């Protein structure tokens, strides 16, 4: 239930920024087992792996971040899984920061 709320992804690079947002509404289900299937810390570094920059990144035309596919609102029942995904483009590759309200 604590995962419900307003989600925002903000993309920034040296020439600009863009953002997308959505709401996740979760309907409580009585008598559900709330024990996590996977340790919540298991994926904490997954999206924060360092990326290698090639000199080509600096030669190409600089473009500000642009949301190509935005986040979408979701409604689900407690215990269901969901992946909130968006596609963002820009050069150099934008840094994406997630916010949950």
pLDDT tens, residue by residue, 5-49 = 999 999 999 999 999 999 999 998 887 676 767 776 776 666 555
DSSP letter for each residue of 2-56:
TT-EEEEEEEEETTEEEEEEEEEEEE--TT-----SS-GGGGTTGGG---PPPTH
**Averaged pLDDT, 87-94:** 96
What is residue 30's predicted lDDT score, i.e. its pLDDT?
84
What is residue 100's predicted lDDT score, i.e. its pLDDT?
87
Task: Answer whether 0.85 is exceeded by the pTM.
Answer: no
Residue 66 predicted with pLDDT over 70: yes
């Amino acid at each position: 239930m604590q995962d419900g709320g307003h989600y925002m992804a903000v993309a920034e690079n040296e020439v600009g920024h863009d953002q997308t947002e959505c709401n996740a509404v979760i309907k409580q289900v009585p008598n559900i087992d709330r024990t996590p299937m996977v340790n919540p810390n298991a994926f904490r570094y997954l999206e924060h792996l360092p990326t290698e920059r090639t000199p080509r990144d600096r030669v190409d035309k600089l473009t500000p971040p642009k949301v190509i596919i935005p986040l979408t609102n979701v409604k689900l029942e407690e215990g269901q899984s969901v992946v909130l995904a968006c596609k963002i483009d820009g050069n150099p590759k934008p840094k994406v920061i997630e916010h949950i309200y």
